[in-house]
A and B are shown apart, each in its own frame.
Chain A
C-alpha cells in the first residue's frame, strides 16, 4: 500500500518565522498536490507539481517536488497568522489514483 508521510504532524511557531513541512513516500508519483484546509472548511488546492525537481512559488510559499518524484516540501517565508491551517499533500500514483497524507497542522502565533 502506498503511503504519503507528512512531517511534522504539528507545528506551532511565531509570526515572522520561516518553516518547512515535508511529504515523503517510498513510491513514485506522477504528480503531487498541496492543499490547505482551514477549520470548518474543505481543503483548497494550492499547487500541483508534476516534473521531478520542479519548484513553484505562490507568494511566500515555495513548493518543491523531489528529483525522483517521491517527496515534496513546502517552505513558508515570514509566516503570518493567516497561514494557520491543515496542510495536506496528495499524490497521483501510477494507477492514477490519488492518495492523501494525514497532514501537517500549522499554527502561527501572533
Chain B
C-alpha cells in the first residue's frame, strides 16, 4: 500500500463521545500534518509533526489532541467536540516540514 491513508472516511459522533482519527503514510516522509477543511474557508493547518516531535500547534482547542507514535502514523484524538467542528479533516505528509505535501482523502466528521 502506498500514499497517505486515513480512517475512517466518515464519522458521525455526539458532542460527548470520544473518537480518534488515524493517518498512515508509506512514503518514508519525516513530516506529518493535520488540516481542517470547512466550506468557504482556506485549509487550516492544525498540527505539524517532524520526526515524531510536534513542531507546530496553531492555537487549536484542547478538545483536539494529536499523537504521533512513529514517523508513519498520526492520530487525532477527539473529545467533547462542538457542532462547528464538523468538517473534513485531512492528513498530509512531506519529506521535510513545509515542503510540498501528499494528502490523504480525509475523514468527513459530523458532530450531532
Contacts and interface: CB of A to CB of B under 8 A. Distances in A.
B45 interface: yes
Contacts of A40: 105
A63 to B, nearest CB: 13
Interface string A85-104: 00010101000111111110
B100 interface: yes
B97 A96 contact: yes
Contacts of A43: 43, 90, 103
B102 interface: yes
B101 to A, nearest CB: 7
Contacts of B32: none
Contacts of B105: 40-42
Interface residues of B, number: 19
A44 B45 CA distance: 16
Chain A: interface size category: 20 to 34
A101 B37 CA distance: 12
B4 interface: yes
A97 B103 contact: no
Contacts of B41: 102
B17 interface: no
Nearest to A38: B105
A102 B42 contact: yes
B73 to A, nearest CB: 17
A42 B103 contact: yes
Given A42-B4, A102-B41, 8 more contacts: A33-B100, A42-B105, A43-B43, A45-B101, A96-B97, A96-B98, A98-B101, A99-B42
Interface of B: 4, 6, 40-43, 45, 56, 90, 92, 97-98, 100-106
For the complex of A and B, the 10 pairs showing the least CB-CB separation, nearest first, are: A42-B103, A100-B43, A96-B98, A102-B42, A100-B42, A42-B105, A43-B103, A41-B105, A98-B98, A45-B100
